[in-house]
Amino acid sequence: MSHAHRKTLLLINPVSQLRTGFLMNRATKCQPLSLGIIAGLTPKEWKVKIIDENFRQFKYYEADLVGITSFTATATRAYELAGIYRSKGVPVVIGGIHASMVPDEAEQFCDSVVVGEAESIWPEVLKDFESGNLKKQYKGSFTNLIHQPLPRRELFHPGYIVASVQTSRGCPMDCSFCSVSAFNGRHYRFRPVNEVLDELESISNKYVFFIDDNIVGHNSFARERAKELFRGIIERGIKKYWISQASLNFADDEELLGLAAKSGCCMIFLGVETEGIEQLTEAGKNLNLHKVKDGAYNQVFNRIRKHGIGVIGGFIFGFDHDTPKSILNRARFIRRSHIDSVQLSVLTPLPGTRLYEELRVSGRLTHTNYPADWERYDYYEPVFKLNRMSVEIFDQYRDMAWKSIFSWPQMISRFFRTLLVNHNLKTTAIVWLNLYHYRRIFLFGWKRPYN
Ligand code: SF4
């Protein structure tokens, strides 16, 4: 009796070899959901394996076909790993947000590029592989998120503390530095609530990250749908702690906040970005602009916090209107603001964004030795000529600012400030641990992995 050769699809999640960043903490590592989805779309005749550099550096593994995902900072590594397989004659397909934004670059390093969302096109890629006719590029259309196969979670490394779940795609906003709308479109698409609930019931992790760009959306339909999801979690008795991302309008609806908290929301990440009117204007962050003009940032934070949900504020440094003084002002604003945890980054022009195009056209990009330089696009250093100061001055002030935000007196006072409104020792501990992880990442996390 002869067995047909069972083909192996190897999926790789590459990590940057330059700096650790978020990967230094197990708690902030994120499952490669897209690879799980590709595995779910692949017929049973295939053997599928995921190599995940979040946990272990790449070692060669035999395969018939290789699929690699990457974002901009991991593109350098993705191309390097693609080269290893191609030199052995194994075809490599690259997808993900970076390759989708610069497919002509990506196709030089692989056999096929999948541009956009892969669901609609993956069966065709496999068919063309089988007949030896892989095309250079495939363009996926926006996926109808109803009845899609689930990600094969059993293939993820068991070391992940937090499970990633997606409930919607797309964002109608148009922030200058963000490539979400270019990749997922400006219309929301939702998964049916029942399908999300079924998936949650199948997940054993206690902690879930809803990776949606805005879990409550920007219109009343999206808000009602979020409430339906939260009610469903409560009614089915699904006991998870969950985290997600949202805009400041998360705080606008008391009923929604109550349901979110009751369904297990322990932290929400808000893209605050900056307290500066000029900086918000240049970023096109209109929603925040309205709130900051009313002086309402702290009201927003506190409305959320009094429901027992910790607020993580995301802030950016390096806007065109930033000066040494405004960097210190932002740090002071953060220290005094009523948030529970802080995420910091340097403004980074990712390909596919308006910001990238503006800086490219005006000749201000300083790191353009691609693909080697992509790994420096990781939110840690300015990769463009700053408008109002040199990189050296920026580094000096940024350093001062970040250290002051995460000083121990600040850490301790934030713990008590959280406990005072949160009243719950368990969620206070979760929120403070998040702050502690971020402290390690933002003060010490920028060294090479694997050394
Ligand atoms: S930063 Fe947030 S609100 Fe702005 S476009 Fe991106 S996902 Fe939408």
Question: What is the 8-class DSSP label of residue 155?
Answer: G
Provide the pairing of β-strand 162-165 with 341-346: unpaired
Beta bridge partners of 13: 52
User: What's the rounded Cα separation, in Å, for the pair 223 and 215?
Assistant: 9
Would you say the CB of residue 180 lies under 6 angstroms from ligand 1? yes
Nearest to 320 by CA among 294, 270, 358: 358
> For ligand 1, atom 3, which residue shows the shortest CA distance?
173
Domain spans of the chain, in order of start: 8-139, 161-444
pLDDT at 141 over 80: yes
User: Which architecture characterizes domain 161-444 according to CATH?
Assistant: Alpha-Beta Horseshoe (3.80)
1 pLDDT band, cuts 50/70/90, is very low
User: What's the rounded Cα separation, in Å, for the pair 296 and 359?
Assistant: 32
pTM (two decimals): 0.94
Nearest to 225 by CA among 256, 250, 201: 256
Which CATH code is given to the segment(s) 8-139?
3.40.50.2300
Give the DSSP per-residue string, 205-234. -SEEEE--S-TT-SSHHHHHHHHHHHHHHH
Task: Please report which residue ranges of 265-424 form alpha helices under DSSP H.
Answer: 277-283, 286-293, 297-305, 324-336, 354-361, 391-405, 408-422
What burial class does residue 209 get, using C-beta atoms within 10 Å of its C-beta: 0-12 exposed, 13-18 middle, 19+ buried? buried
For ligand 1, the distance from its centroid to the CA atom of residue 74, given in whole angstroms, is 21
For ligand 1, the distance from its centroid to the CA atom of residue 165, given in whole angstroms, is 18
Query: Could you tell me what percent of the chain has a pLDDT over 90?
Result: 85
Would you say the CB of residue 211 lies under 6 angstroms from ligand 1? no
For ligand 1, the distance from its centroid to the CA atom of residue 158, given in whole angstroms, is 31
Beta bridge partners of 164: 209
Would you say the CB of residue 259 lies under 6 angstroms from ligand 1? no
Cβ pair 14, 81 in contact under 8 A: yes
Q: Is the link from the previous residue into 449 a cis peptide, with omega within 30 of 0?
A: no
Ligand 1 atom with the smallest distance to the CA of 178 is 6
> For ligand 1, atom 2, which residue shows the shortest CA distance?
213
User: What's the rounded Cα separation, in Å, for the pair 4 and 374?
Assistant: 41
424 pLDDT band, cuts 50/70/90, is confident
For ligand 1, the distance from its centroid to the CA atom of residue 213, given in whole angstroms, is 7
Mean pLDDT in residue range 12-29: 81
pLDDT value at position 185? 86
